[in-house]
Structure 1
Amino acid sequence: MYLDHVIKRATSVPYFSPNEFIPCTIDEVLALEQFLGSPLPRAYREFLLWMGHSGGKFLQGTDCFYSDLFLIQEGAKELLEEDKFSGQLPENAFVFYMHQGYQFQFFLLNEEDPPVYFYLEERPIRTSFVKLYSSFSEFLSIELEGHIKSEAYRIFPS
């Protein structure tokens, strides 16, 4: 559905092994939805059911997999407080990505393939969130292409 083109692209690259991608179970997805008190966007559910536990080297080093998701919700709020950010996360925001504790990305739970918003700890302090991608599927596609290029360069340096 929403991620078909991303999954097809990932499976077409020879240095990705299919068993690198470790999915969540449907029960884990349902537990996350229960924790949030809201259904997840379809595009994000597809991600969890494709590689919710691991993407191998893809997205490695970033808190974005199932075991991280419960903790980074609070971590993002703490970062905003520490930075004395003038606003707050919207009530229906879901933080799905946090990197090194100084930046995070989130989407709102009310769309099927929602836009992705970004916050980065910096000086001067931001006064608003930045819309980084028009959809979650676009985020994943661009991240995957960046990873493919960096892996290709590592394997075949010019």
Structure 2
Amino acid sequence: MTPGEFKIAIIENELATADELIGAAPCDIINLEKSFSVQLPDSYKNFLLCCGKNMEKLGSMLILSYPDILNLRDSLDNLIEEEELGIRIPKKSFVFSSFDELIFDFFICNGNPDPVIYRVDEGCSGQASNMRHRMPISMPD
């Protein structure tokens, strides 16, 4: 699903209006890349430009919008440490969403235009899972 198709689906399902879906500015994306020393995939940049600034309409416990996503990596690292989950997230990972700071989704910024999405779910013993295959994985560097 492209960012435009995603936006249309949100509007058609009456989760938000077109006026409520605000895209991030190009300078916001540059700030994200500089803050985390990563090159975000174009697919994610397009999502941010389309509707990445105001996704709170999808749920108050879902963190998916800029600038709220700036704190997600630290929140995930803290969860892993505090709960002694025994996993390590690669340095070039970008955490792009969280639900109630118990479930985190991320991808590795390795030049792949369509990166694999990984999930850490504290409720499932903190396993990191490959979202495409829904199976535990060993995390690459």
TM-score, with length taken from structure 2: 0.81
Q: Deviations over 1:14-45 (max 9, x none)?
A: 73421110111101111111111121111110
CA contact (8 A) 2:107 2:118 kept: yes
TM-score, with length taken from structure 1: 0.73
Matched positions, count: 131
- Whole-angstrom distance in 2 between the partners of 1:3 and 1:40: 15
After superposition, residues 1-158 of structure 1 pair within 5 angstroms as 2-11=2-11, 13=12, 15=14, 16-55=16-55, 57-110=57-110, 111-122=112-123, 125-126=125-126, 128-133=127-132
Structure 2 gaps, min length 5 = 134-141
Percent sequence identity over matched residues?
23
The structure in which a higher percent of residues are helix is 1
**Partner-residue secondary structure (3-state), 1:19:** coil
Bigger Rg over Cα: 1
CA contact (8 A) 2:96 2:106 kept: yes
- RMSD, matched Cα: 2.2
Q: Which deviates more from structure 2 when the two are superposed, residues 100-109 or residues 53-62?
A: 53-62
Return structure 1 stretches of 4+ with deviation > 4 angstroms. Answer: none
